[in-house]
Structure 1
């Protein structure tokens, strides 16, 4: 229903892109993410909006995250893992963050160890 944009009633704005969702998903989002729990189950202004900006996350990463929150599955690649790690930290998605960290540890090679070390320090 989300992909067909049936009954969607809220839009998450990620950088230059947007993802349409169902407000009911925020019960699920709030259950899976302390970030969304605090945002939508308190008196924060975002709880009453139809468009919620999350500008710190790119559109491509935002789409992956929303798909993950709907399905519990995500395709990790060496191209998306670092952005997803930063976003999962921001959104307080502990289980996803741990999965990404394990994935990145499995990807360490002599050609990328310095860049991953620098990323870890940040």
Structure 2
């Protein structure tokens, strides 16, 4: 055996009395490989996970050791804890195969087409090391075409770190992502977070308004209750007077809401009575230059 395959930690003092803790990564790796081979060969398996027409012979002790979900299942006294064949529904068998391979080996291969579902299943089976590997993959491969979907995924599963990473990326690349098909699929909470973020990279406030209207108009009936919350993200005083009159007011998205009409009145006042601008709410007067200065370093 190569000496480099051994690691040790020895105490000081009399050599006859000192204790040395030695470990063999080679043994560990061989054990993992053997366990996975026994899974593949169905050797000594004591449970079979059935998904659709696929069967996964496994070892309860390995599943329980690698997943709190399975540990709870086998220790609960439920029917599944006594059965050899356990059926799990509404799960992609191909992705589940990746999950099982990770439980046995700690290794996983993922692609852009599998990472989202792998993230979901890792959350389901409470394999948080696998969750974080999915997050690392998503963050490393983040692009204008994936950041909004990553926001939606993170929001659905309460992963705040990934949500904030994807949100920042979307803010920086707003000029592109506002045209992405996933933009209109954002939840009301996510679109509000995006449009009100001070890091939003926009040339004019008109662009932000048009993006907001695009989201609202994608599902008029169900999103009309969000009109004020979404459009209140817009700094209407920074919209040109002509656009304000000819487009915003004429569109009438805020005409039926008292609070919305007040926002438009404030914007009109800003343009027509400059001496009273100091009376407007401070958030409406946040200059775009301040937003530009707050932008972080561009990623990607």
TM over 0.5: yes
User: Per the alignment, in what secondary structure is the counterpart of residue 77 of structure 1?
Assistant: coil
The 5 A counterparts of 1:33-72 are: 33-72=67-106
Greater helix proportion = 2
Among 63, 71, 85, the alignment partner of 2:119 is 85
Larger radius of gyration: 2
- Show structure 1 runs of 5+ residues with no match: none
More RCO (CA 8 Å, sep 6+): 1
Equivalent-residue separation in structure 2 for 1:112 and 1:120 (angstroms): 12
Equivalent-residue separation in structure 1 for 2:106 and 2:49 (angstroms): 18
Contact 1:19 1:62 in 2 (8 A): no
User: Per the alignment, in what secondary structure is the counterpart of residue 109 of structure 1?
Assistant: coil
Among 11, 27, 31, the alignment partner of 2:48 is 11
Contact 2:122 2:131 in 1 (8 A): yes
RMSD (Å), alpha carbons? 1.6
* Number of positions where the alignment pairs a residue of Structure 1 with one of Structure 2: 119
1:73 Cα deviation after fit? 0.9
Equivalent-residue separation in structure 1 for 2:129 and 2:77 (angstroms): 26
1:120 aligns with 2:157: no
User: Per the alignment, in what secondary structure is the counterpart of residue 39 of structure 2?
Assistant: coil
1:56 Cα deviation after fit? 2.9
User: Per the alignment, in what secondary structure is the counterpart of residue 101 of structure 1?
Assistant: helix
Look up the match of 2:66: 32
Scaled by the length of structure 1, the TM-score of the pair is: 0.86
Equivalent-residue separation in structure 1 for 2:79 and 2:61 (angstroms): 17
User: Per the alignment, in what secondary structure is the counterpart of residue 50 of structure 2?
Assistant: strand
Look up the match of 1:2: 39
CA shift in 2, pair 1:6/1:46, >3 Å: same
Equivalent-residue separation in structure 1 for 2:153 and 2:87 (angstroms): 26
Equivalent-residue separation in structure 1 for 2:56 and 2:97 (angstroms): 7
Contact 1:17 1:58 in 2 (8 A): no
Select between 65-74 and 111-120 the one with higher mean Cα deviation: 111-120
Equivalent-residue separation in structure 2 for 1:68 and 1:120 (angstroms): 21
* Residues 55-100 of structure 1: per-residue CA shift (max 9 Å, x gap): 1321101111111111111112111111111001111111111111
Scaled by the length of structure 2, the TM-score of the pair is: 0.37
- Show structure 2 runs of 5+ residues with no match: 1-37, 157-300
